[in-house]
Structure 1
Amino acid sequence: FPNRAAFDLSVDGKKFSIEKVDDFTVRLSTPEIYAPFLETVGGVGLLPKHELEPAFRDGSLLKAWNVSIAQKEPRRLLATGAFRLRSYQPAERIVFEANPHYWRADAQGVRLPYVDFLVTKLVKDANASTLAFATGQTDAEGLSPDNVAWIDRYASRYGFSVFNRGPSPNTGFIWFNQNPGRDTSGKPFVAPHKLAWFTDRRFRQAISHGIDREGLVRGVLFGRGQPLWGPETPANKKWYNPNVTQYPFNPARSKELLTQAGFQLGSDQKLRDRLGNVVEFTLNTNQENQLRANMATAFKENMRDLGITVNLSFLDFGTLVGKIQDSYDYEAGMLGLTGGGDPAGGISVYSSKGRLHQWHPNQKTPATPWEARIDQLMSDQLHTLDYPTRKKYFDEVQKIMSDETPYIYLVTANAYVGLKDRWKNIRIPPLGSLIWNLDELWTPLLTP
């Protein structure tokens, strides 16, 4: 069965050993030092053997818990958390009830959670979810920075507050397809002359210097963010390297780098390579993300000032992922990744063998010396428990990523959350879920 946890429970392809000690204890042994062991094991969910073993043995595990079961027999979907499923109404709501078997209790011995029910309202998209919160229909919501100003105007009317948690751990970037392979018909994934551009570090650095990130912060994020120069944002205080290479907006420097790489601006104000090819490419991004679409439009204008033509293609997310991970039929992409955790969480991105190594995934051997160096550093940081040593290795990874610019990082938005004022025991974290301590929350009011 597809199981990321089972894949993660290994070191360099060697699996952890798992041994039952007694009815309440399991011993896991690693084949060698594995630094993120606690983070990895702590995220592994447990499944009830008495409920699912028959399905596991007959090969129907993935069908055992399905929508029909959720609707007709919700109690069969067992849980060890603070809540268990009470009812599911497709396209409307999911209702959870307090789990009477939950293990936690407060200092007075009262079993948690304090609240009896949790309702998840199902809506068609992020805009509908935001509107539901802003008009008092829901209690908590993550907020996009471009929505903060108008939502805040309704705070006193509907009794909620908006909190700025500082820089988001999420990254946003542009990258070029550097995959030299061919499709089943023998056609190159990328036209050879464009592949030559995309694999030239000077070209990528020129593009980076040509992006007005401060303009993106002002015009797209309404001042609620900051430029991003590397794979981690300041939100990840434990692992963030502030000393990566930066590419401030400098069209003159862009033109210098392009000239060094053999590009020339013609009398028609179009940039051409040394063979006379006009520099033009298509940038793909997902149509569901309006902030990203706005950034793509601004990027297109920045590139026009350099004589580069950028065509924008807005695709549904599934189609875009298919191009990136399966067909490789694209020239450039704009997406983002969720950061903020242990470096081990990004191995599939940084490793040249990784499926998420988007500019050139699934390499049999590293295509470049700098990718080989990153491979070594990511392996080294896994095999020591000494934090300063791990930090040194990962700092170098971040520096290489900024120097080589396989990802051209853009901006990071501030993270905003909204919450009804009636809730108590709120402890807003800099990272993660606003209601991470959901089992401890309570309210003196039972009606909106």
Structure 2
Amino acid sequence: MLFQVRHPFAIPALVIVGALLVSACTGAAQPGSSTSPSAQGAPVAGGTVTIPIGADPTLNPWSPNAFVESLFINRAIFEGLTKPGKDLAPAPDLAESWNTAADGLSWTFKLRSGVKWSDGNAFSADDVAFTFNDIVLKPDLGAQNRASYAAVKSVTVVDPNTVRFDLSRKFAALPSFLAYNSGILPKHILSSNPLTTASFNKGVPVSTGPFKVEKYTSGQSVSLVRNDNYFGPKPYLEKVVFTVVPDPNTQIAQALAGDVTIMILDNKAAVDRVKTANGLAVVSRPLVQYYWLALNQTDTRFTDVRVRQAFVHAIDRQAIIKSVESGYGSIANSPITPALAAYYDPSLASKYPYDQAKAKDLLAQAGWTPGPDGVLQKNGQPFKFTMDVGQRGVLEPVNALIQQDLKKVGVIAELNTMEWNAYIQKDVVRREYTATVNWWTYPSDPDVFPYYHSSAAGKGFNIPGYQDPKLDDLLVQGQSASDLDARKAVYKQLQAYTSETLPYLFLWYPQEIDVISTSLNGVPELGLRDAMHYLGEWWLAKK
């Protein structure tokens, strides 16, 4: 079967927006409606767009150090075989078409002809094979997102414009996964350089997108200019500058001063203040995202599911949504978000009500009893542990609220606040943590294999290190099923199972709030990071 623009399991954008409105109504009171800039005549060329990011990026989509801030720029300069379409279905990018074999054990991608790298060298199937065979599929390199491709055995060059992905099992969602954080890298530049030490990652990389890096000043900014070797239409914008601004409140102040063109509003309490500012619009975007609390499974206190269930009952998640998200969100009890309306199971929404008595009962069943100071203890040891807190977005106030709630049931969580990059290295890369709060944003597909399968524990995205053969089997079944009804059935089971076993402690499903200059046009109705794939279509109205 040939796939060009649509994907058999894609969820239409309007359905996703509707699902988010429903979730808002059934959770916290629905926030007021958003406004968005309207198109202002025909596109015009020129101008500079400024976007704040929270930390220095790593300019390589496969680097294990390429986290949140890196996504903006990497999606703007590196192209994948596919990209998220404006309806969230996988759309052509470096590949113009694709098809799967009758047995489902291979996918063949036909590449665009005439594509060049920003340094003028020709792009070919060799670059695709190199990216996957020499980087992604090499376990010792620890490539970011490697677990997404656990079903891929190898990539074969069929001819200069054709590649074949050979699989160990059916992988129906491959085109969707190739659209996310899976940029192709230049073989002629990186064939002799290790992934994590290439000067490429913190300098001026070679890429294929409509923009290329002009200058990278650590701690200050990354500037992009038009890529004259780009195969597609010339971008309207002359320049795009990503400024490094760690403090969300400083980002807001800059936006109000007119120094920001577009940004994600991490501090949603500022929505009303920003809405009333001249020249700015506030837009609510659907997200396939959820926040979680990970409890390291090497700590035997957390291997007891009753403890994990007790923690969820002990945490007032609705209060968190109200406090840090200003009501923009809904309680999460599984990894499948309401945005994936065809798969989401709404019956789980009320599974873990805020109930301190229930939390205390479960902890007692697990052998934890109050000590003389009220702190729970077991075998003479108090229930105390450290929660690492990354200085990013809402994480600091969220951790403080969780700390307060756990203390009410006799559990002491001591907070260790860290600079974001140091936190990523310690908790995410090296896994040197006991408990931590973070979030996942993933493709518009319910396949969560990279975040939950046992093979992803360690260097992969399975942050808690949770390993469960039954869950592994469900994850493989979901990847292998090619029929929509069969996939829906598998992922309904997976939601029920993960909500019971809690590999992660699910907190809430957020919405993205973007602040946009009313002079900016051409931004698709996607999350801002996904919208970076369409940076060549953005344009600024003349003032």
- TM bin (shorter chain): 0.7 to 0.9
Residue equivalent to 1:442: 539
Q: How does 1:235-274 map to 2 (within 5 A)?
A: 235-244=339-348, 246-265=351-370, 268-273=373-378
Residue equivalent to 1:299: 402
Q: Kindly report the root-mean-square deviation, in angstroms, between the aligned alpha carbons of the 2 structures.
A: 3.3
The one-letter code matched in structure 2 to 1:155 is: A
Do residues 39 (structure 1) and 176 (structure 2) align? yes
- Given candidates 337, 350, 353, the residue that maps to 2:452 is 350
Q: Report the 3-state secondary structure (helix = DSSP H, G, I; strand = E; otherwise coil) of the residue aligned with 1:412.
A: strand
The one-letter code matched in structure 1 to 2:226 is: A
- Asked if the contact 1:11–1:34 (Cα under 8 Å) also holds between the matched residues in 2, the reply is no
Distance 1:411 1:422, change over 3 A: same
| TM superposition score normalised by structure 1 | 0.77
- Given candidates 237, 244, 254, the residue that maps to 1:123 is 244
1:424, 1:413 → 2: CA distance? 25
- Asked if the contact 1:123–1:129 (Cα under 8 Å) also holds between the matched residues in 2, the reply is no
Q: Report the 3-state secondary structure (helix = DSSP H, G, I; strand = E; otherwise coil) of the residue aligned with 2:521.
A: coil
Q: How does 1:378-397 map to 2 (within 5 A)?
A: 378-397=475-494
Q: How does 1:359-398 map to 2 (within 5 A)?
A: 359-360=464-465, 366=467, 371-398=468-495
Q: Report the 3-state secondary structure (helix = DSSP H, G, I; strand = E; otherwise coil) of the residue aligned with 1:396.
A: helix
1:272, 1:102 → 2: CA distance? 63
2:149, 2:202 → 1: CA distance? 36
Shift of 1:263: 3.2
Distance 1:97 1:57, change over 3 A: closer
Q: Report the 3-state secondary structure (helix = DSSP H, G, I; strand = E; otherwise coil) of the residue aligned with 1:235.
A: coil
Distance 1:85 1:198, change over 3 A: closer
Shift of 1:267: 6.0
The one-letter code matched in structure 1 to 2:450 is: S
Deviations 1:306-326 (A, max 9, x none): 122222222334544455467
% identical aligned pairs: 22
2:198, 2:150 → 1: CA distance? 32
Q: Report the 3-state secondary structure (helix = DSSP H, G, I; strand = E; otherwise coil) of the residue aligned with 2:176.
A: helix
- Asked if the contact 1:11–1:31 (Cα under 8 Å) also holds between the matched residues in 2, the reply is no
Deviations 1:350-374 (A, max 9, x none): 112313323336xxxx5xxxx1111
The one-letter code matched in structure 2 to 1:314 is: T
- Given candidates 37, 56, 80, the residue that maps to 2:191 is 56
Shift of 1:239: 4.0
- Asked if the contact 1:141–1:419 (Cα under 8 Å) also holds between the matched residues in 2, the reply is yes
Do residues 226 (structure 1) and 330 (structure 2) align? yes
The one-letter code matched in structure 2 to 1:98 is: R
2:256, 2:151 → 1: CA distance? 48
- Asked if the contact 1:340–1:431 (Cα under 8 Å) also holds between the matched residues in 2, the reply is no
2:186, 2:470 → 1: CA distance? 43
The one-letter code matched in structure 1 to 2:436 is: G
2:311, 2:354 → 1: CA distance? 10
Greater Cα radius of gyration, structure 1 or 2: 1
1:33, 1:151 → 2: CA distance? 50
Do residues 174 (structure 1) and 293 (structure 2) align? yes
Deviations 1:211-265 (A, max 9, x none): 1112112222232322222223223335433233721111122222233333333
Q: Report the 3-state secondary structure (helix = DSSP H, G, I; strand = E; otherwise coil) of the residue aligned with 1:391.
A: helix
Shift of 1:331: 2.9
Do residues 281 (structure 1) and 385 (structure 2) align? yes
Do residues 163 (structure 1) and 283 (structure 2) align? yes
Q: Which runs of 5+ in 1 are unaligned?
A: 71-76, 105-110, 180-189
Deviations 1:64-91 (A, max 9, x none): 64666x3xxxxxx544322234455555
Deviations 1:116-171 (A, max 9, x none): x1221423424343432232112111111435336415521xx11011225x4332
- Asked if the contact 2:392–2:420 (Cα under 8 Å) also holds between the matched residues in 1, the reply is no
- Asked if the contact 1:160–1:418 (Cα under 8 Å) also holds between the matched residues in 2, the reply is yes
Q: Report the 3-state secondary structure (helix = DSSP H, G, I; strand = E; otherwise coil) of the residue aligned with 1:243.
A: helix
| TM superposition score normalised by structure 2 | 0.64
2:449, 2:480 → 1: CA distance? 13
Q: Report the 3-state secondary structure (helix = DSSP H, G, I; strand = E; otherwise coil) of the residue aligned with 2:382.
A: coil
Shift of 1:60: 10
- Asked if the contact 1:145–1:224 (Cα under 8 Å) also holds between the matched residues in 2, the reply is no
1:300, 1:293 → 2: CA distance? 11
Residue equivalent to 2:154: 16
- Asked if the contact 1:232–1:339 (Cα under 8 Å) also holds between the matched residues in 2, the reply is no
Residue equivalent to 1:187: none
1:10, 1:409 → 2: CA distance? 21
Shift of 1:41: 4.1
Do residues 212 (structure 1) and 212 (structure 2) align? no
Aligned length in residues = 399
1:320, 1:92 → 2: CA distance? 20
The one-letter code matched in structure 2 to 1:218 is: K
Residue equivalent to 1:401: 498
Deviations 1:387-445 (A, max 9, x none): 22223222222221110123222223321001111223343226853454322233331
- Asked if the contact 2:246–2:392 (Cα under 8 Å) also holds between the matched residues in 1, the reply is no
The one-letter code matched in structure 2 to 1:18 is: T
1:27, 1:257 → 2: CA distance? 51
Q: Which runs of 5+ in 2 are unaligned?
A: 1-61, 64-130, 138-145
1:430, 1:376 → 2: CA distance? 31
- Given candidates 52, 73, 83, the residue that maps to 2:211 is 83
1:57, 1:161 → 2: CA distance? 47
Deviations 1:329-356 (A, max 9, x none): 5432222222353344x32321123133
Deviations 1:288-323 (A, max 9, x none): 125211111111221222122222222334544455
Q: Report the 3-state secondary structure (helix = DSSP H, G, I; strand = E; otherwise coil) of the residue aligned with 1:120.
A: strand
